[in-house]
């Protein structure tokens, strides 16, 4: 593809079509939408505890009710069908399925997902199941959480129970969603549950999450899973001044902590040297045992890419970039000259094309799927309508970027918007709206936004006009 045609695509001036069989869908996560926090045997997760701790979550919000999807899943699936979604990515609530974390399965917990999967299939929608999207049973955190090696084995037990019950109907499985967040937001900055601030614990968590991923891949394969994946939140880390070797080194450091720390063990069976140095510096290296990396590198069929924004990085003595990763001293994020979303995240679709092309170049054997991409804006319902032109522009730009990456050789199999509907945005509570569908949390009324109608048309024509 010529540079001109890439620019035309990103500028939104060319009609384009995705490859036949491209998978279109949307994603959610259990704690963010389900509610029913104490029903049918579910026990607390670390997010129940965290959101009950004063000062942790915006205005004391919690996932107790959320979008009440546990009770409204039939209507929500009907809505998905109206939008023409072919794939729905959702996660399992570990404390529903194994209320005490490691012990017996609670059949009523799995019953819910059984019903959901059947409902999806009835509507012709492929279920894509994530095992772990952050709601660790609190009882496991009380035993050390992800700093405890046993947690990795318990994740594999969860995988075995889930695939045993759902594997006859669920083809695509994901072990972890965004282990970077679990480790660094959960154990280093404390912005996420369990709210710890301990760099050593964060690196221990990285390794045990990755070990859990590898063990869960094994368990899923043993249970007959047809397609197994891992989802990472990756970024395109760029030096502010590419001619300055210090900026280049700072950008590489951020790339290491957010990308290579997870990509390399999963896809190449090794931690990069610069990351191993950080395990050592923070006293966490001894959690890496002989043989672990072979387990972690169990082949996967698909790499899930969650992309929201690129990182522009410069070196500055005495600075920290604001990332919660220990080991980012001397690196600083530079504000980009780009519009921002309600999260204050810069909108730059070229980061997605750059990232996908880099993954295609570095890991050509692994097919890719965008498993999350989207934006929060301050949406309002007026006369029954949500006119979210800014979200449409965001999605349009990123789909053009995804298409450009495909044209450039990336084996991109699908795109899932984040999120199907507005939901509990972790520390921001219900204050940030990422949905294609607006949710009124007082009435639970759903209103598809303009972006939902626009996305349905994109799916219908398998591309953009
Ligand atoms: O809401 C989250 C999701 O749970 C994980 N990826 C990023 C989203 C937006 O912050």
User: In the predicted model, what is the mean pLDDT of residues 215-226?
Assistant: 98
Interval 142-149 mean pLDDT: 98
Q: What is the pLDDT of residue 4?
A: 38
CA of 1 to the centre of ligand 1 (A): 32
pLDDT digit string, tens, across residues 129-140? 999 999 999 999
What is the predicted pLDDT for the residue at 327? 80
Cα(12) to ligand 1 centroid in Å equals 26
Ligand 1: atom nearest CA of 372 is: 6
At 348, is the pLDDT very low, low, confident or very high (cuts 50, 70, 90)? very high
Q: How far is CA 191 from the centre of its chain?
A: 16
Q: Which atom of ligand 1 is nearest to the CA of 426?
A: 1
Mean pLDDT, the chain, whole residue set: 96
Per-residue model confidence as pLDDT tens digits over 253-268: 999 999 999 999 999 9
Q: What confidence tens digit (pLDDT) does each residue in 315-334 have?
A: 987 777 666 777 888 899 99
Question: For every residue of 64-130, which 3-state class applies, written as one string?
Answer: CCCCCHHHHHHHHHHHHHHHCCCEEEEECCHHHHCCCCCCCCCHHHHHHHHHHHHHHHHCCCEEEEE
CB neighbours (10 Å) of residue 316? 17
Average pLDDT for residues 73-86, to the nearest whole number? 98
Q: Of the residues 34, 178, 204, 227, which is catalytic?
A: 178
178 a catalytic residue: yes
Sort 448 into a burial class: Cβ within 10 Å, 0-12 / 13-18 / 19+.
buried
User: Annotation-wise, does 133 bind a ligand?
Assistant: yes
**pLDDT score of 173:** 99
Q: For residue 328, what are its two tokens?
A: 């980012």
Nearest CA to ligand 1 atom 10: 425
Which atom of ligand 1 is nearest to 434's Cα?
Answer: 9
Query: What's the rounded Cα separation, in Å, for the pair 220 and 157?
Result: 10
Pocket test for ligand 1, best of 304, 376, 419 (most atoms within 8 A of CB): 419
Identify the pLDDT of residue 168: 98
Contact call for residues 208 and 147 (beta carbons, < 8 A): yes
Model pLDDT for residues 378-402, shown as the tens digit of each residue:
999 999 999 999 999 999 999 999 9
Tell me the three state secondary structure of residue 339: coil
Buried b (16+ CB within 10 A) or exposed e, 241-251: eeeeeebbebb
Q: Which residues line ligand 1 (CB under 6 A)?
A: 29, 32, 178, 306, 372, 418, 425, 434
What's the confidence (pLDDT) of residue 179?
98
Q: Helices 107-122 and 69-83, interaxial angle, to 10°?
A: 20
Residue 293 has pLDDT above 70, yes or no: yes
pLDDT at 5 over 50: no
Task: Write down the pLDDT at residue 11.
Answer: 57
Question: Is 24 among the annotated ligand-binding positions?
Answer: no
**Domain 3-234+246-309+340-464, CATH number (from 1.10.287.3510, 3.20.20.120, 3.20.20.80, 3.40.50.11610):** 3.20.20.80
Determine how β-strand 87-91 pairs with β-strand 172-177.
unpaired
Q: Taking 70 as the threshold, does the pLDDT of residue 3 lie above it? A: no
The residue-averaged pLDDT of 244-250 equals 96
pLDDT, tens digit (0-9, with 9 covering 90-100), for 44-55 = 999 999 999 999
Entry pTM: 0.96
Annotated binding residue 32:
yes
Cα distances (angstroms) measured from residue 463 to each of 23, 125, 153, 190, 374:
11, 19, 42, 40, 17
Q: Is 177 annotated as a binding residue?
A: yes
Structure confidence at residue 325 (pLDDT): 77
Which SS3 state, helix, strand or coil, does residue 371 take? Answer: strand
Using the mean position of ligand 1's atoms as its centre, give its distance from the Cα of residue 425 in Å: 7
Compute the average pLDDT of residues 437-460. Answer: 98
Residue 184 Cα to ligand 1 middle (Å):
14
Q: What is the pLDDT of residue 10?
A: 54
Of 34, 119, 264, 372, which residue is the catalytic one? 372
pLDDT of residue 12: 57
Residue whose token pair is 């069908």: 81
For position 234, what pLDDT does the model report?
A: 98
* Closest ligand 1 atom number to CA of residue 423: 1
pLDDT of residue 328: 83
What phi, psi does 387 have (nearest 5°)? -90, 85
Cα-flanking dihedrals φ and ψ of residue 218, to 5°? -55, -45
Q: How far apart are CA 133 and CA 446, in angstroms?
A: 24
Q: Extract long-range pairs of 169-172: CB within 8 Å, 24+ residues apart.
A: 169/117, 169/118, 169/121, 169/127, 170/117, 170/127, 170/128, 170/129, 170/225, 171/126, 171/225, 171/226, 171/227, 172/87, 172/126, 172/127, 172/128, 172/129, 172/226, 172/227, 172/229, 172/302
Helix (H) or strand (E) holding 220: helix 199-222
- Residue 302: pLDDT band by 50, 70, 90 thresholds? very high
Residue ID of nearest Cα to ligand 1 atom 4: 29
Band (pLDDT 50/70/90 cuts) for residue 336 is very high
Active site residue 407: no
Calculate how far, in angstroms, residue 369's C-alpha sits from the geometric centre of ligand 1: 16
């Amino acid at each position: 593809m010529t540079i001109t045609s890439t620019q035309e695509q990103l500028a939104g001036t060319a009609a384009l079509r995705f490859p036949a069989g491209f998978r279109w869908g949307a994603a959610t996560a259990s704690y963010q939408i389900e509610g029913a926090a104490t029903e049918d045997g579910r026990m607390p997760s670390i997010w129940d505890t965290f959101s009950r701790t004063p000062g942790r979550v915006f205005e004391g919000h919690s996932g107790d009710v959320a979008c009440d999807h546990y009770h409204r899943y039939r209507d929500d699936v009907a809505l998905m069908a109206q939008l023409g979604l072919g794939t729905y990515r959702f996660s399992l609530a570990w404390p529903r399925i194994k209320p005490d974390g490691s012990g017996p399965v609670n059949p009523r917990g799995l019953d819910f997902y059984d019903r959901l999967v059947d409902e999806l299939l009835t509507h012709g929608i492929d279920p894509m199941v994530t095992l772990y999207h952050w709601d660790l049973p609190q009882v496991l955190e009380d035993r050390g959480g992800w700093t405890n090696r046993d947690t990795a084995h318990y994740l594999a037990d969860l995988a075995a129970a889930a695939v045993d019950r759902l594997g006859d109907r669920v083809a695509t499985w994901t072990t972890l969603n965004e282990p970077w967040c679990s480790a660094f937001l959960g154990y280093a900055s404390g912005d996420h549950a369990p709210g710890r601030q301990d760099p050593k614990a964060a690196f221990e968590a990285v390794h045990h999450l990755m070990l859990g991923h590898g063990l869960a891949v094994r368990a899923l394969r043993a249970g007959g899973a047809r397609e197994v994946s891992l989802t990472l939140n990756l970024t395109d880390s760029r030096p502010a001044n590419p001619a300055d070797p210090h900026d280049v080194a700072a950008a590489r450091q951020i790339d290491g902590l957010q990308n290579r720390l997870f990509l390399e063990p999963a896809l190449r069976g090794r931690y990069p040297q610069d990351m191993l140095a950080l395990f050592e510096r923070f006293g966490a290296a001894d959690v890496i045992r002989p043989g672990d990396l072979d387990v972690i590198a169990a082949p996967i069929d698909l790499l899930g890419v969650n992309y929201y924004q690129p990182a522009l990085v410069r070196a500055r003595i005495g600075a920290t970039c604001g990332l919660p990763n220990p080991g980012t001293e001397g690196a600083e994020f530079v504000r980009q000259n780009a519009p921002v979303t309600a999260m204050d995240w810069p909108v730059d679709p070229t980061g997605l094309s750059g990232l996908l092309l880099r993954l295609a170049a570095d890991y050509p054997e692994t097919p890719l799927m965008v498993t999350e991409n989207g934006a929060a804006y301050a949406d309002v319902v007026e006369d029954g309508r949500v006119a979210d032109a800014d979200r449409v522009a965001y999605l349009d730009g990123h789909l053009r970027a995804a298409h450009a990456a495909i044209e450039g050789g990336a084996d991109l199999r699908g795109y899932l918007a984040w999120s199907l509907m507005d939901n509990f945005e972790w520390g921001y509570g219900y204050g940030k709206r990422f949905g294609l569908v607006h949710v009124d949390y007082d009435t639970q009324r759903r209103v598809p936004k303009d972006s939902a109608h626009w996305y349905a048309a994109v799916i219908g024509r398998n591309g953009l006009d």
